[in-house]
Chain A
Amino acid sequence: MIPAPQSDSTRLITPTMLVLWLVLATVPLWIARVGLYPYLGIEILIWSLYALAFNLVLGTAGLPSFGHGAYFGIGAYAFGLCQFNVVANLWICLVAAFAVAGLAGALVALFISHRRGIYYAFMTIAFGQIFWTLAIKSHKVTGGEDGLLKIARLPADFGFASFDLAGNVAFYYFVLIVFGIAVIALWRLVHSPYGRAIAAIKQSETRAAHLGYNVWLYKASIFALSAAISGFAGGLFAMAQLAAFPDVMSLHQSGYVVMMTLVGGGLVSFWGPVIGVFLFLIARDVIGAMTNAWMLYFGLLFIAVVLFRPEGVAGAIMATWQNRSLNSMRQQGGTALRLLFGGGRWR
């Protein structure tokens, strides 16, 4: 594994991130011109939040969870049901999505946190399937296979001002702000003492236990937290789609988030999952426009990534970057001259 550059992990704002935020903030201005559509921007942000939440479990804690779609879906249903049956207030419904998914995650965590490796993976699949079956079969509550329809994009009411989120552009900016806040919170979390303890558990559970950490509690809490944030993303997704479907809870869809995270490089980088979501959703639309068998090509691509670049796109970038900085250190003077006067090899 390649260690992250130390200076980046403590800083909140790096040049790369500044560029990223700038790009994200201007999406509605140019997305239609490059042949995509505004809704895709919303989808990318929501899936990025979901993938980052998922990566708390897979990348940070090293726990293979393969039923994570369940919590995303639970969040979506909770948002819709809260809106229909409790109160149609954006904040309360989003909190409900967060809380209900978090509770479901905590319940599951009680059962699985003593498990390791493949048994852990199997248990998460079993629970994911239980929730999925419940969603499909409880026709009266969830609408069965048809899902929960007519969910509204509730206005964001701040007391002094209220914003209508029904349009795609307004909703995009709302999601962007929420995404920004959530990302800062996640970044702080991963680099906090708590996050460090989780990373220690990933390296060796036994060693962490001997150092006096309550491994069970850490594993359970990170899982519940990840489920809660996934549910929150699910709530946003219900707003984006104006509906909640059992589809996102299926084993396949749970697999997609694993793929996104892995392809992007979630195992070695905080931002990896976001890269993966970008690639996945854009590939879905671009390859999907050319052929209706886009999963075939994505599957082949995925196999190639696992075989040749298991640390994902982020890992590849980091390796290149490290090589470059090593090389430049070796030939400090020469490189600068060659860059200035040509003849230097750009990587």
Chain B
Amino acid sequence: MFDLLPHILNGLTLGLLFALIALGFMLIVGLMEQINLAHGSLFALGAYFAMQLMGPRPPLPADLAQSWLALPLGWRYAATLILAPAAVGLVGIAIEFCMRRTYGKDPLYGLLLTFGAAMVIEEMIRLTWGTRDYVVQVPQAVSGGFIFGDLIWSTYRFYAAGIAAAVIGLVWLLIEKTSFGATVKAGAHDSEIVRALGINLTRLRLLVFVFGTMLAAVAGIIVAPIWGIRPHMGVDAVIPAFLVIVLGGVGSFWGAVVAGLLVGLAVGLSGAYASEWSLLSMYVLLVAVVTFRARGLWGKKSVLEA
């Protein structure tokens, strides 16, 4: 059992990152019943923006760039965590404006629209930054590693997991404890009534979509130093996000978190014994669960099944 402990720990940290990646995706699926296939590309875009901001030549006017670079790396990282998602949020607004036309139709149309958007964003990334890999600097305090058990651990991985847990907590507070969250949930449940109450549903949906987009970007920034930055990283992120959502059950917040941890555990544990096949473990886990529980662990019936 003790031998397994490091792998379990590893899996759980990975799981928190998966849950974070899936979170924005889940909000949009659960609250708007729209599948955002561009989620992975927005995730990648967040990472690229962060890399550009943190890198040696930020896209700023010369004097501003100088004072920006004079800031300590830790501060810059914290600021990037807000600035890059804000920039990605603008892209989210553009997508939502297109997506409006598909609301109320077969969810297939929204899905295909965002597939197109994903293609466009990925190609833009290739045009702007080329196909090479990049590295994101992390603050000195959280880089490096330590030895625990018989494995070498990267410190940053734990910080990333901590930030992921904190963001997940914040989102939970926002959805469950604020009037904004209540309105959003009501809008998902019965849009007619919400509109009749005089709430601007169009604006509400825009806000939810952009919020989900920004969460994708945050996930991208946090995960980038671990996975590296490359044009293909979007696909690598959107698939675990899918899995986590379906496994946890569409529309269930805790379902997504638990499923994220489960997927992380599956990947972590199988990675310890058969690293070649560790990717396969998450699909097998999904098939196993969904075969017996059609709507995932905590899913509710939704219009997406019709």
CB distance from B286 to the nearest CB of A (A): 5
Instruction: Give the one of B101, B283, B291, B295 with max A CB within 10 A.
Output: B283
Tell me whether A38 is interfacial, beta carbon within 8 Å. Answer: no
Cross-chain contact A258 with B304 (CB below 8 angstroms): no
Q: How far is the CA of A180 from the CA of B5 in the complex (A)?
A: 60
Cross-chain contact A126 with B287 (CB below 8 angstroms): yes
CB neighbours of A125 from chain B (8 A): 239, 242
Cross-chain contact A251 with B127 (CB below 8 angstroms): no
Cross-chain contact B279 with A114 (CB below 8 angstroms): no
CB neighbours of A137 from chain B (8 A): 276-277, 280
Cross-chain contact A300 with B235 (CB below 8 angstroms): no
Q: How far is the CA of A133 from the CA of B127 in the complex (A)?
A: 28
CB distance from A69 to the nearest CB of B (A): 13
Cross-chain contact A251 with B239 (CB below 8 angstroms): yes
Tell me whether A302 is interfacial, beta carbon within 8 Å. Answer: yes
CB distance from A181 to the nearest CB of B (A): 31
CB neighbours of B112 from chain A (8 A): 258-259, 262, 302, 306
Cross-chain contact B107 with A303 (CB below 8 angstroms): no
CB neighbours of B35 from chain A (8 A): 118
Given contacts A129-B239, A133-B279, A302-B116, contact A117 B287 (CB under 8 A): no
Q: How far is the CA of A161 from the CA of B112 in the complex (A)?
A: 48
CB neighbours of B279 from chain A (8 A): 133
Tell me whether B12 is interfacial, beta carbon within 8 Å. Answer: no
Given contacts A126-B243, A258-B112, A296-B127, contact A118 B287 (CB under 8 A): no
Cross-chain contact A298 with B119 (CB below 8 angstroms): yes
Question: Beta-carbon contacts of B261-300 to A below 8 Å, as 1s and 0s?
Answer: 0000000000000001101100110110011001100000
Cross-chain contact B116 with A299 (CB below 8 angstroms): yes
Q: Which of B113, B127, B239, B284 contacts A303 (CB 8 A)?
A: B113
Given contacts A64-B108, A117-B306, A306-B109, contact A122 B116 (CB under 8 A): no
Please give me the residue from chain B that is nearest to A136 by CB atom: B279
Q: How far is the CA of A123 from the CA of B101 in the complex (A)?
A: 27
Please give me the residue from chain A that is nearest to B291 by CB atom: A111
Cross-chain contact A251 with B235 (CB below 8 angstroms): yes
Main secondary structure of the interface of B (DSSP, over half): helix
Q: How far is the CA of A259 from the CA of B117 in the complex (A)?
A: 13
CB distance from B76 to the nearest CB of A (A): 31
Q: How far is the CA of A296 from the CA of B108 in the complex (A)?
A: 21
CB distance from B301 to the nearest CB of A (A): 11
Tell me whether A289 is interfacial, beta carbon within 8 Å. Answer: no
CB neighbours of B115 from chain A (8 A): 255, 258-259, 302
Tell me whether A127 is interfacial, beta carbon within 8 Å. Answer: yes
Question: Beta-carbon contacts of A109-120 to B below 8 Å, as 1s and 0s?
Answer: 001001111110
Question: Beta-carbon contacts of B85-125 to A below 8 Å, as 1s and 0s?
Answer: 00000000000001001100101110111011111101110
Tell me whether B246 is interfacial, beta carbon within 8 Å. Answer: yes
Tell me whether A121 is interfacial, beta carbon within 8 Å. Answer: yes
Tell me whether B126 is interfacial, beta carbon within 8 Å. Answer: yes
Cross-chain contact A293 with B239 (CB below 8 angstroms): no
Please give me the residue from chain B that is nearest to A206 by CB atom: B306
CB neighbours of B63 from chain A (8 A): none
CB distance from A304 to the nearest CB of B (A): 9
Given contacts A119-B305, A296-B127, contact A310 B109 (CB under 8 A): yes
CB neighbours of B126 from chain A (8 A): 293
Cross-chain contact B235 with A118 (CB below 8 angstroms): no
Main secondary structure of the interface of A (DSSP, over half): helix
Q: How far is the CA of A336 from the CA of B81 in the complex (A)?
A: 69
Cross-chain contact B123 with A123 (CB below 8 angstroms): no
CB distance from A293 to the nearest CB of B (A): 5
CB distance from A116 to the nearest CB of B (A): 5
CB neighbours of B119 from chain A (8 A): 295-296, 298-299, 302
CB neighbours of A130 from chain B (8 A): 280, 283-284, 287
Given contacts A130-B280, A251-B235, A310-B109, contact A122 B242 (CB under 8 A): yes
A:219-264 near B, CB below 8 Å: 251-252, 255, 258-259, 262
Tell me whether B250 is interfacial, beta carbon within 8 Å. Answer: yes
Please give me the residue from chain A that is nearest to B105 by CB atom: A310
B:105-161 near A, CB below 8 Å: 105, 107-109, 111-113, 115-120, 122-124, 126-127
CB distance from A301 to the nearest CB of B (A): 8
CB neighbours of A251 from chain B (8 A): 235, 239
Cross-chain contact A293 with B98 (CB below 8 angstroms): no
Question: Beta-carbon contacts of B224-246 to A below 8 Å, as 1s and 0s?
Answer: 00000000000100010011011
List 25 interface pairs A-B (beta carbons < 8 Å), by A numbering: A114-B294, A117-B304, A118-B107, A118-B304, A118-B305, A119-B305, A121-B111, A123-B286, A123-B290, A125-B239, A126-B290, A130-B280, A133-B280, A251-B235, A262-B112, A293-B123, A293-B127, A295-B122, A296-B120, A296-B124, A299-B119, A300-B120, A303-B120, A306-B109, A310-B109
Binding site for A on B (CB under 8 A): 35, 98, 101-102, 105, 107-109, 111-113, 115-120, 122-124, 126-127, 235, 239, 242-243, 245-246, 250, 276-277, 279-280, 283-284, 286-287, 290-291, 294-295, 304-306
With A125-B239, A262-B112, A302-B112 already in contact, 16 other A-B pairs whose C-beta atoms are closer than 8 Å: A64-B108, A111-B291, A119-B305, A122-B246, A123-B287, A127-B283, A129-B283, A130-B287, A137-B276, A259-B112, A293-B123, A293-B126, A296-B124, A300-B116, A307-B101, A307-B102
